[in-house]
Amino acid sequence: MFKAVLIEKDDAGYRAAVKELDEAALPEGDVGVRVEYSSLNYKDGLAITGRGAVVRKFPMVAGIDLVGTVESSAHPGVAVGDKVILNGWGTSEVHWGGLAQRARVRGEWLVPLPAAFTPRQAMAIGTAGYTAMLCVMALERHGVVPQRGEVLVTGASGGVGSVAIALLSRLGFTVVASTGRPQEADYLRELGATTIIDRSELGLPGRALGKERWAGVVDTVGSHTLANACATTLYRGTVAACGLAQGLDFPASVAPFILRGVTLVGIDCVMAPREERIEAWSRLARDLDVHKLERMTREIGLGEVVDTAAALLDGQERGRIVVDVD
Ligand code: NDP
């Protein structure tokens, strides 16, 4: 038997709770993992509270990421005893996820835990941090360099935002943090932001084009914020869009793209190819200051996950939440 956060939906309604499950109930897969840590991301919040249509099969074990030790393997590239990380690949959507003491998954979904990180650090980074790295890599691929000017990070106090600020400042960028929480200004400066702006500056309906300011943008909130970020990006600048905390809509015009050659890059971490994941994790090992990581991380147990998931969606959590599943 093992403990897990189980999401159920039936005549009694939509609910999530810690349950004892039988290992025989684990889904099909060629690798068994003893999970050590998972984490809480925005998408976990949506899945656990039912406020977003994330889960497509019930009952579902929550958790879009995990780190742990391989206990059994029929996969040629994965051996018993390996320390492995899993992000995405449909976990907590159609396959049981990582907010559990045990998981059974497919070997090709796993990447090795980089030697630079402890298991706890890997999940302090978690899906949010790995996505922040994918955003930074996208900006770099499109020629965004510190000499070009300021970079904007929206949803700055959140998980993706906090890691993005730490990474970009370490890489020499001048980082502007957009937040709805002015009380977090000191925290954001400690992570490496040089300027803090209020989220209302970008969050309301705006013009098709505004004054050019950003060489690059990491946007975690979508909606008007993403539209305004594109409208105020420098000629040939790049915007990496990964989130929807403000909304799934994109009320924009094509003006920034056809008049300023702005590039809008979509970031999806769930189905990203394995090579890109391995590159992202090795870049995190090189470019993320682990002291800043610790500063942005809070640890909880499985029993606190359900309440914390709601608080996360309500904007009451900051940075990263790592979950010790034991
Ligand atoms: P968090 O909840 O940790 O961070 C979200 C942040 O967005 C909040 O801290 C807050 O920052 C800001 N925010 C919240 N509500 C609003 C609002 N109504 N308007 C404007 N800003 C708001 O979430 P994560 O960091 O885990 O994820 C961030 C986003 O990225 C989510 O939408 C998530 O779904 C998405 N995501 C996408 C991935 C992908 O593969 N594309 C992978 C990982 C995440 P502040 O208080 O500073 O304003």
Domain residues of the chain, as ranges?
A: 2-113+296-324, 126-266
Q: Does any ligand 1 atom lie closer than 6 A to the CB of residue 238? A: no
Alpha-carbon distance of 261 to 256, in angstroms, equals 7
Local structure of residue 176 (DSSP, 8 states): E
Question: What is the arithmetic mean of pLDDT over 53-61?
Answer: 97
Question: What is the arithmetic mean of pLDDT over 59-65?
Answer: 98
pLDDT band at 211; cut points 50, 70, 90: very high
Question: What is the arithmetic mean of pLDDT over 8-34?
Answer: 97
What pLDDT does residue 234 have? Answer: 98
Share above pLDDT 70 across residues of the chain, in percent, rounded to a whole number: 100
Which tokens in the block code for residue 24? 């025989």
What pLDDT does residue 9 have? Answer: 97
Alpha-carbon distance of 94 to 59, in angstroms, equals 10
Q: Does any ligand 1 atom lie closer than 6 A to the CB of residue 233? A: no
The predicted-structure confidence for 303-316, as pLDDT tens digits, reads as follows: 999 999 999 999 99
Question: What is the arithmetic mean of pLDDT over 197-222?
Answer: 98
Among 217, 220, 318, the mutation site with the greatest number of ligand 1 atoms within 8 A of its Cβ is: 220
Alpha-carbon distance of 124 to 117, in angstroms, equals 10
Q: Whose CA is nearest to atom 23 of ligand 1?
A: 42
The predicted-structure confidence for 126-162, as pLDDT tens digits, reads as follows: 999 999 999 999 999 999 999 999 999 999 999 999 9
Beta bridge partners of 3: 20
Residue entry with tokens 């370490």: 170
CATH dotted code for 2-113+296-324: 3.90.180.10
What pLDDT does residue 124 have? Answer: 98
Radius of gyration of the chain (CA): 19
Instruction: For residue 28, give the amino acid letter.
Output: E
pLDDT band at 167; cut points 50, 70, 90: very high
What pLDDT does residue 274 have? Answer: 96
Q: Does any ligand 1 atom lie closer than 6 A to the CB of residue 181? A: yes
| Nearest ligand 1 atom to alpha carbon 318 | 9
Alpha-carbon distance of 294 to 286, in angstroms, equals 16
Q: Does any ligand 1 atom lie closer than 6 A to the CB of residue 246? A: yes
What pLDDT does residue 84 have? Answer: 98
Kindly indicate whether the ipTM for this predicted assembly is greater than 0.90, answering yes or no. Answer: yes
Torsion over CA: 312, 134, 120, 104 (sign): positive
Expressed in angstroms and rounded, the spacing between residue 112 Cα and the centre of ligand 1 is 27
Q: Does any ligand 1 atom lie closer than 6 A to the CB of residue 77? A: no
Among 41, 46, 154, the mutation site with the greatest number of ligand 1 atoms within 8 A of its Cβ is: 41
pLDDT band at 271; cut points 50, 70, 90: very high
Rounded to the nearest integer, the mean pLDDT of the chain is 98
Q: How far is the CA of 264 from the CAs of 126, 135, 162, 178, 227, in angstroms? A: 24, 11, 21, 19, 10
Among 23, 21, 27, residue whose Cα is nearest residue 5: 21
What pLDDT does residue 276 have? Answer: 97
CATH architecture of 126-266: 3-Layer(aba) Sandwich (3.40)
The reported pTM is 0.98
Angle between helices 42-49 and 305-313 (to 10 degrees): 110
pLDDT band at 212; cut points 50, 70, 90: very high
Alpha-carbon distance of 24 to 32, in angstroms, equals 12
